[in-house]
Amino acid sequence: MKIIDLFCGIGGLSLGFEQAGFEVVSAIDMWKDAITTYNHNRTNKIAKVTTVEDFNKIDLPEILKKEHITGIIGGPPCQGFSTVGKREIDDPRNRLYLEFYKAVKLANPDFFVIENVRGMLTLNKGAFVKDLIERFGEKGLGYNISYELLNAADYGVPQNRYRVFYVGVKGNKKFVFPKSLGFPLTAKDAISDLEGSSNEHYGSEPQNEFQRLMRGKCSCPKNQDYTSHTQQTIGIISQVPDGGNIKDLPKEFWEVRKYNKAFERMGTFKPSNTIDTGHRNYFHYSEPRIPTVRESARIQSFPDDFEIIGTRGSQYKQVGNAVPPMLSKVIAENIKELLLCK
């Protein structure tokens, strides 16, 4: 089953689908750093820096001459839906979403998956959902569409990360989203074996099944470089309790960072907060420092042999932008089972 990943980033969606048995034959993104990381971690360097417009005009027609595309996946930006009316959907900010639609229309795959931020469900009275159902649905391209807000923590990812997934399937089949596994992992469950580790060795043996899965056959973690903090930062964070934030400190500290999400500490008793593209305001559960890129990638469920390339700031951004592969795999497995069902 061959698929295409548009707006692929470093390939979190791709990796989950690959783990479920799909083959990614093409992946594109405009960010060179992300494509470098994507290709670095794969034998077949199929990812390319290009616009989706050029891909649809140049690459996709050539691919379709050779391959039957089973699915198209991706997370197109859709900011234009925040203000435009339903009749003004070709707002320039929606061109990437419309190009995703064009790719699906050209390839006519058996399924498509769109991943998006939770706000797109309700933004501008649900304008995006309405357009997607009209454009891709039974009266449009003929897909049966299911959508749901998922929390990655419900599917084995040690992180509270809410994203909306839209799945369209051709024929008389309709996708049903998987049920929660019911046992969320904590931040400590995710990374405790990385305490005391370096790029040359692990800190301890794996302490649970998640850690064993992430390590695989990897002999040492990659991207396990520590950040040096000022004594002021170390002093403040040392006073933040397990799972707490700057509001747990005396008020004079609040002026250091003037918003509620500042100086949060991971909890040993709950999943991590969302790993985002920044990294200066979220700290290790027991050490007065930000998580390493590896720890962030582990919390995102990237295996330890998946190496992030680029400057440190770029590495954090690449990881924060990604879809957790473990969540992607659960969705991919359910799609595969549905497609194979007679």
How far is residue 111 from each of residues 118, 129, 174, 334, measured CA to CA in Å? 21, 17, 10, 12
Q: What's the CA dihedral at 318, 278, 13, 105 to 10 degrees? A: -90
Distance from the Cα of residue 55 to its chain's centroid: 22
* 284 contacts 291 by C-beta, under 8 angstroms: yes
Catalytic residues: 78
Q: Tally the C-alpha atoms within 13 A of residue 33's C-alpha that lie toward its C-beta.
A: 14
User: Sign of torsion, CA 176 182 188 189?
Assistant: negative
